[in-house]
Amino acid sequence: MKRRILGSTGISVSELALGTMMLGAMGNPDHDESVRLIHTALDAGINLIDTADVYSQGESEEIVAKALVGRRDDVVLATKFALPLGVDSTGSSANHSGGSPRYIKLAVEHSLRRLGTDYIDLYQMHRPDANTPVEETLGALTDLVRQGKVRAIGASTFAVEQIVEAQWAAERRGHQRFLTEQPRYSIFNRTIEAAILPTTQRYGMGVLTYGPLGSGWLSGRADPTSGHRAGSAPSVFDSSIPGNQAKLEAVGALTMLAAEAGLPLAHLATAFVLAHPAVTSVLIGPRTPAQLTDLLSASDVVLSDEVLDRIDEIVAPGTELNSDDNYLATPAALLDARLRRR
């Protein structure tokens, strides 16, 4: 499998990376099968494994730890923090989430324990924290790098202005900066092409994209509104929603295009994401070994300019067919009316 350098980290990573959100109670509860899935990915040349503390409430990290016994030094291990993980006696998750130095110090120790390792190659902030100045977050993460617990730091699903603010804050304060960004990107989710991807290029950041199959819409199933994810999030696949109707129409057109190119739709979708020059590695998130085997066979697919132009005609660059698919956090100014009134 081909490798690329992850931004300015100097780390060489495979073009396809293994995302483990679906390993554990959220997807595949069979630990033995999940471990075999990870081993298959590693044997195929994938060297980057991405997980998060919230995936199945830490279970995904524990599964990854089992799979990496005896193989840790060969793997670029990435995990994430910041999304709510637990509550206090009042039911509040405020001190069990976010980017405060207090929480970061707790979260990293828990992840290191679950992962069975003494260092994390890439520690990523899963979502921005409106309640903590980003320089405070970067200061705490810088301490982890200096202590050797973390090799590099990154962010996930940040808006373009948040990416820029974090870069400026790091320069002003002399902190470690976010060296990577992990955005959602697929044929159906192209808004990051307008500003986020050009900004990551400007700052020399590595980009690890997730969701290349659009939550299963581009998997090639006869009925994309069915399947495991459709059962767990039916509103995301409700065909009566106008944005989802547009997706169904686009799936038909893309399926025909994939057939003309001699490709399964899932391979066309994955290769489309890899074709963007800002993208370092595409996270694939299989739930079963069969899904992994299918996606691995897409690693050598390169789309012609003609095919990419046809995709642009079906879904215009920089657009999203369903605005509800935008995973960027809603700004605090829109959530709290008091912030808009005197």
- On the question of pLDDT at 184 being above 90, the answer is yes
- On the question of pLDDT at 331 being above 90, the answer is no
**What confidence tier does 224 reach under pLDDT thresholds 50, 70, 90?**
confident
Average pLDDT for 275-302: 95
Average pLDDT for 74-89: 92
Per-residue pLDDT, 324: 81
Per-residue pLDDT, 196: 98
Q: Label the pairing between strands 3-5 and 12-14.
A: antiparallel
| CA gap 82, 53 in Å, rounded | 9
CATH number of 10-340: 3.20.20.100
Tokens 């690693």 sit on residue: 299
Long-range CB pairs of 312-318, under 8 A, 24+ apart, other chains included: 314/187, 314/250, 314/253, 314/254, 314/257, 315/187, 315/188, 315/190, 315/250, 316/190, 317/190, 317/193, 318/190, 318/191, 318/193, 318/194
Per-residue pLDDT, 233: 65
Average pLDDT for 216-224: 87
Least confident of 32-36, 76-80, 134-138, 335-339: 335-339
**What confidence tier does 230 reach under pLDDT thresholds 50, 70, 90?**
low
On whether the CB atoms of residues 178 and 185 are closer than 8 A, the answer is no
| CA gap 155, 128 in Å, rounded | 8
Per-residue pLDDT, 162: 97
| CA gap 283, 50 in Å, rounded | 8
Per-residue pLDDT, 298: 87
| CA gap 320, 242 in Å, rounded | 12
Domain edges within the chain: 10-340
Least confident of 3-12, 108-117, 237-246, 303-312: 237-246
| CA gap 140, 124 in Å, rounded | 13
Per-residue pLDDT, 236: 76
Single-letter code of the amino acid located at 281? S
For the chain, what percentages of helix, strand and coil (3-state, to nearest 5) are there?
45, 15, 40
Could you give the 3-state DSSP secondary structure of residue 58?
helix
| Angle, alpha carbons 169-108-5 (nearest 5°) | 65
Quick one: DSSP state of residue 305?
A: H
Average pLDDT for 321-336: 82
Average pLDDT, the chain: 94
**What confidence tier does 227 reach under pLDDT thresholds 50, 70, 90?**
low
Which string of b and e fits 303-319 if b means at least 16 CB within 10 Å?
Answer: beeebeebbeebbeeee
The model's pTM: 0.94
Quick one: DSSP state of residue 74?
A: G
Single-letter code of the amino acid located at 131? N
Task: Tell me which residues are annotated as active site.
Answer: 55
Per-residue pLDDT, 237: 78
If we measure between CA atoms, which residue out of 129, 126, 123 comes closest to residue 105?
123
- On the question of pLDDT at 127 being above 90, the answer is yes
- On the question of pLDDT at 115 being above 80, the answer is yes
By the 10 Å C-beta count (0-12 exposed, 13-18 middle, 19+ buried), 45 is classed as middle
Over the stretch 26-74, which tens digit does the pLDDT of each residue have? Answer: 999 999 999 999 999 999 999 999 999 999 999 999 999 999 999 999 9
